[in-house]
Structure 1
Amino acid sequence: MTNSYAPSRGPERHNAHEQAPRPGAVLTDPVRHPAGAPAPVLAKRAFLLILITLLVPGSAQTVAGSRRLGRVALRTTLTVWAVLIAAVLLLIASRPLLINVLASPPVSLLLVVVLAALSLGWAALFLNTFRLVRPTLLAPGIRLGAAAALVVSMVLSSGSLGYAAYVLNVSRDAIGSMFSGFGPTIEPSEGRYNFLMMGGDAGADRTGRRPDSLSVISVDAKTGQTAIISVPRNLQNAQFSEDSPMRAVYPDGYDCGNDCLINAINTEVTNDHQELYPGVADPGAQATVEAVSGTLGITVQAYVLVDMDGFSKLIDAMGGIKIKAGGWVPISSGEMLDEANGIHGMPLGWIAAGDQHLNGFHALWYARSREFVDDYARIQRQQCVQQAMLKQMDPATLLTRFEDIAQAGTQVVESNISASQLGSFVDLALKAKGQGVDRLTIGPPDFDASFSTVPDFDVIHTRVRALLDGSPAAQAPAVAADPQPAAPAPAEAEPATGSAAAADPQPSSDFTPVTTTPDGEPITREMLDYFKSQGDEQSIRNLVASNGLCAPL
């Protein structure tokens, strides 16, 4: 019996494990002994070895190279597959547990090291496979194609593992910066998790900080159904929860007069009552949590501090947000001409009514601006921005902008939420995504504008309970709303006024932005600046009165 091809007779260097034939073996196997094989066979062999290295790392070495190396690589491959299958089963059985395990600092560090090692090992296997391909035996065109296939395969496999290790390491740093470590587990209160979000300037020296905005995000622990309850920063006589140390100081509520607004609690406790909160990292924030709990009649379990300067960086990292603005919003110069009447200098710019794609700078001003309108229009815009961020934080955005988002998040968020419970809350966030968000404001459009000065806490508790229970009572104002000044209607459209906003506590995206004067003339920056230069503040108020209307796109 003759050989199908004649082996090369010239001198060749063979790896003892790869090329040396067994005694008496006939060199007719082109997989292990390719020298002298026909060109089509060599081409198929080259691409096959690269493919099986991509699909089953170690198999190319087993069939064509060092069997010892192949066995080690195959055992590693099978172990990784087993771990992945176990992770998938755990994901199906208990997604929060899997996330908690992955978020654990020791486990995440181990995963980073393992992923990096697997990435390097897989790359080494590909390089070894390319040597087994014996590119010198291939035709020039096939040689180039095999090299390209190997590079693409390495990027898909080893490169992906390396990127996963990098992303996981970035996540570890972000979690460590934003969350409080592995503290006590937060239990649901009446089936819900309630988080207080406070927006303000959270620099290194936070003494004297007053939260610029206060919102409770309440999430059903089973379904993820979410409600946002906004508390005006100027609410007076806030009630502390029964277990609050501040009840000993203010047993009848925070009632020391016009200076005792709910957003001043953080400052007062930080400056004067830290001894009431031994061992608490941020006594002022904790006291504010207790005041919001007592005021709303619910248990707020945790807080999140959002630094407003970092907030703009986060939105930039997301690529901006898209909203539908009901009216023009000024970007204030900060220059105060008449403090008693709240009159500022010329605005630096304006955010126009209509569909807008806002970058971080403009989104921050859209959420914070209150010139020409009251705090309640601003609260509506803040709720809208929050919803736009939640809606647009999709998997594609996270994947393509993960590093920027994670780094911005470390500048934005500080929280007393334990990292050990991160999995539960990520799971809730996934459940909540795509569901509608119910909203309530302790002020217009849900209450009279003067309500925050002399609040009726029984009424507040009733409305909050109705909202969280899904009762229709949450939609009907308990106190006659005091509408903002009506905005002029566009000549061709139905009026969009402050009264309309008051009648609908949850404005939908079908409202008509106010873009023209009652005479049908388009509203422009030049027009608004002219009124300002003439001291005609009332005309501006009439034109921008609908700017509390907003919907995420």
Structure 2
Amino acid sequence: MTRRRGAVAGIVIGFCVAVYAAVFVLGRVDQYLFPANEVAVPAVPAFVPGTDIGVNVSLPGVSAPGPKPWTPDARLNILVLGIDKRPGQPEDGSYRSDTMFVASIDKHAGRLELLAIPRDYWAEIPYGNTPGVWAENKINAAYSYGQFYKYPGGGPAAAVAAVQHNLNITIHHYVVIDWEGFVRLIDALGGIDIEVPETISDFGTDVLEVFPNNTVQAGRQHMDGKQALGYSRVRVDGDLKRIERQQLVIRAVADKAVSLGYITRIPELWSAYRDAFRTDIDNALIPGYALMARSIDLGNIQTFSLGKAMYGGVSEDGQLILLPNRDQMYAIIDEFLADPQARDEAPKVALVVPPGGQAAGMAAVAHLETYGIPPAWVTVVAGDGTGAPGIYDVTGKPYTAGKLAGLFDLRMQNPDGSEPPGFDVVIRLGEGTALRTPG
């Protein structure tokens, strides 16, 4: 009898281990194929018989005990390149990217954010066919250089390398679309509606020839593909104003796609219009990305532009270029990459360090930046050693305060009036306060 019970127990344990291993592997595969929709097994409450003592029993690497905190992994960054390839020109030609922006999907908050990169930004771009060799030029030349010099991965890889090198933004995928593909996609939507903020004319080029008298009138305008392309390309008032128009077009496309229910048809549309653009997104990922897209609030697209951090200049070879104010540029990038739910609260954070705690304060600021709290939101304050260490929500910023409590070995404390004035949330470090990794 004892031997039989042992055999049964062995079978049960073996079965449980096999199930656990299968779910663990499924979770890893699902995390890749279905980002933000991966399978997870909830923690199970277990109680000690005859008592009211209970714990949550979880499986390492599988269980989801509660809502996941925001981490940098919540970001999916896609570099979108609009190249100036004309109808009839070869696919593998050396073209400049007329449009460059990073489309960042925050899977945790369900947000889409856009960061426009001015085409005339003077940057270091890949030179030749050896990664790590750079030359100065306009950043929109990176694609052309990559094609011409046979850079590994061609123009798209060179453009990705330039963005990552100059802006320190991790790029996960790229999408390249030319004029023909752009027109085709807009026409497939039945055109788009744009609230044009101001009348614009261009009599010096053929860009606006699809509009009466080469002029786009202010007010609500319905545009087909060619008209939307012309409105996106016109730059008589400068590249920075053109970026604003491009962002209006993107918003209009998103609004039309939502109104037509296209978000639920992504796999079908992908198959139909796959030849309209080039990308390194594998076909196997499309179903997962389609599920993720359904959770994105396309009515709340947030737009950023590096144009605000640029000023005009002339290169040594006489080109009109844009040069960056680097502090301002990286501040915009920090804001763009921040945790959007914390950004919604616009918190002013005081980091109170104990006497002699400057090094700990610097480490804490870097830790906060890693987890979506930019340095611009944080002021380091020298403390006098009084006051209990903890997180103080002074003005009512519950998301930010809760997030900060997950980043330090500190407890939430009730404000007592000793907090430095003018701040929404106060972090008071103690001697030896440890940094925590949320998870």
| TM-score interval (norm. to shorter) | 0.5 to 0.7
Q: CA deviation at 1:210?
A: 0.6
Greater relative contact order (Cα < 8 A, sep 6+)? 1
Paired residue secondary structure (1:232): coil
In structure 1, C-alpha distance between the alignment counterparts of 2:224 and 2:145, rounded to whole Å: 35
Q: Deviations over 1:262-284 (max 9, x none)?
A: 11112122212x2x52xx3xx21
Task: Establish whether residue 246 from structure 1 lines up as the match of residue 131 from structure 2.
Answer: yes
Task: Work out whether residues 332 and 369 of structure 1, in 8 Å CA contact, stay in contact via their aligned partners in 2.
Answer: no
Paired residue secondary structure (1:453): strand
Equivalent residue number for residue 145 of structure 2: 268
Paired residue secondary structure (2:312): coil
The within-5 A match list for 1:489-504 is none
Paired residues in the alignment total 269
Letter in 2 for 1:264: A
In structure 2, C-alpha distance between the alignment counterparts of 1:335 and 1:358, rounded to whole Å: 17
Equivalent residue number for residue 322 of structure 1: 193
Task: Work out whether residues 99 and 423 of structure 1, in 8 Å CA contact, stay in contact via their aligned partners in 2.
Answer: no
Q: Deviations over 1:163-196 (max 9, x none)?
A: xxxxxxxxxxxxxxxxxxxxxxxxx954201000
Task: Work out whether residues 199 and 218 of structure 2, in 8 Å CA contact, stay in contact via their aligned partners in 1.
Answer: yes
Q: CA deviation at 1:389?
A: 0.8
In structure 2, C-alpha distance between the alignment counterparts of 1:432 and 1:284, rounded to whole Å: 30
Mark the CA change 1:407 to 1:431 in structure 2 (over 3 Å): closer, same or farther. Answer: closer
| Aligned residues: CA RMSD | 3.9
Equivalent residue number for residue 109 of structure 1: none
* Comparing 375-384 and 409-418, the one that deviates more: 409-418
Equivalent residue number for residue 292 of structure 1: 163
Within the candidate set 328, 331, 340, 1:459 is matched to: 328
Task: Work out whether residues 263 and 294 of structure 2, in 8 Å CA contact, stay in contact via their aligned partners in 1.
Answer: no
Mark the CA change 1:333 to 1:317 in structure 2 (over 3 Å): closer, same or farther. Answer: farther
Task: Establish whether residue 419 from structure 1 lines up as the match of residue 290 from structure 2.
Answer: no
Task: Work out whether residues 94 and 143 of structure 2, in 8 Å CA contact, stay in contact via their aligned partners in 1.
Answer: yes
Task: Work out whether residues 227 and 468 of structure 1, in 8 Å CA contact, stay in contact via their aligned partners in 2.
Answer: no
TM-score, reference length from structure 2: 0.53
Q: Deviations over 1:405-442 (max 9, x none)?
A: 66873342210111122233222221113451221111
Letter in 2 for 1:379: I
In structure 2, C-alpha distance between the alignment counterparts of 1:191 and 1:379, rounded to whole Å: 26
In structure 1, C-alpha distance between the alignment counterparts of 2:279 and 2:256, rounded to whole Å: 22
The within-5 A match list for 1:157-196 is 190-196=73-79
Equivalent residue number for residue 29 of structure 1: none
Letter in 1 for 2:159: T
In structure 1, C-alpha distance between the alignment counterparts of 2:79 and 2:280, rounded to whole Å: 11
Q: Deviations over 1:438-489 (max 9, x none)?
A: 211111xx33442863224443223211222144599xxx9xxxxxxxxxxx
Mark the CA change 1:97 to 1:356 in structure 2 (over 3 Å): closer, same or farther. Answer: farther
The within-5 A match list for 1:87-102 is none
In structure 2, C-alpha distance between the alignment counterparts of 1:265 and 1:398, rounded to whole Å: 33
Equivalent residue number for residue 210 of structure 1: 96
In structure 2, C-alpha distance between the alignment counterparts of 1:335 and 1:387, rounded to whole Å: 25
Which structure dedicates a bigger proportion of its chain to strand?
A: 2
Paired residue secondary structure (1:376): helix
Equivalent residue number for residue 396 of structure 1: 260
Runs of at least 5 residues in structure 2 that lack an aligned partner in the other structure:
1-25, 35-70, 314-320, 348-371, 377-439
Letter in 1 for 2:334: R
In structure 2, C-alpha distance between the alignment counterparts of 1:382 and 1:307, rounded to whole Å: 14
Mark the CA change 1:292 to 1:332 in structure 2 (over 3 Å): closer, same or farther. Answer: farther
Mark the CA change 1:411 to 1:328 in structure 2 (over 3 Å): closer, same or farther. Answer: farther
Paired residue secondary structure (1:237): strand
Within the candidate set 202, 215, 233, 1:350 is matched to: 215
In structure 2, C-alpha distance between the alignment counterparts of 1:214 and 1:309, rounded to whole Å: 17
In structure 2, C-alpha distance between the alignment counterparts of 1:97 and 1:190, rounded to whole Å: 15
In structure 1, C-alpha distance between the alignment counterparts of 2:263 and 2:336, rounded to whole Å: 35
Q: CA deviation at 1:223?
A: 2.7
Q: CA deviation at 1:404?
A: 11
Q: CA deviation at 1:224?
A: 2.3
Mark the CA change 1:233 to 1:290 in structure 2 (over 3 Å): closer, same or farther. Answer: same
Letter in 1 for 2:220: D
In structure 1, C-alpha distance between the alignment counterparts of 2:253 and 2:206, rounded to whole Å: 30
Q: CA deviation at 1:323?
A: 1.2
Within the candidate set 368, 371, 375, 2:239 is matched to: 375
Paired residue secondary structure (1:223): coil
Task: Work out whether residues 331 and 347 of structure 1, in 8 Å CA contact, stay in contact via their aligned partners in 2.
Answer: no
Select the structure of larger CA radius of gyration: 1
TM-score, reference length from structure 1: 0.43
Task: Work out whether residues 309 and 324 of structure 2, in 8 Å CA contact, stay in contact via their aligned partners in 1.
Answer: no
In structure 2, C-alpha distance between the alignment counterparts of 1:99 and 1:190, rounded to whole Å: 12
Task: Work out whether residues 331 and 365 of structure 1, in 8 Å CA contact, stay in contact via their aligned partners in 2.
Answer: no
Mark the CA change 1:361 to 1:408 in structure 2 (over 3 Å): closer, same or farther. Answer: farther
In structure 1, C-alpha distance between the alignment counterparts of 2:82 and 2:192, rounded to whole Å: 18
Letter in 2 for 1:192: R
Which structure dedicates a bigger proportion of its chain to helix?
A: 1
Mark the CA change 1:307 to 1:404 in structure 2 (over 3 Å): closer, same or farther. Answer: farther
Identity over the aligned pairs, expressed in percent? 25
In structure 2, C-alpha distance between the alignment counterparts of 1:437 and 1:403, rounded to whole Å: 22
Paired residue secondary structure (2:76): strand
Mark the CA change 1:450 to 1:331 in structure 2 (over 3 Å): closer, same or farther. Answer: closer
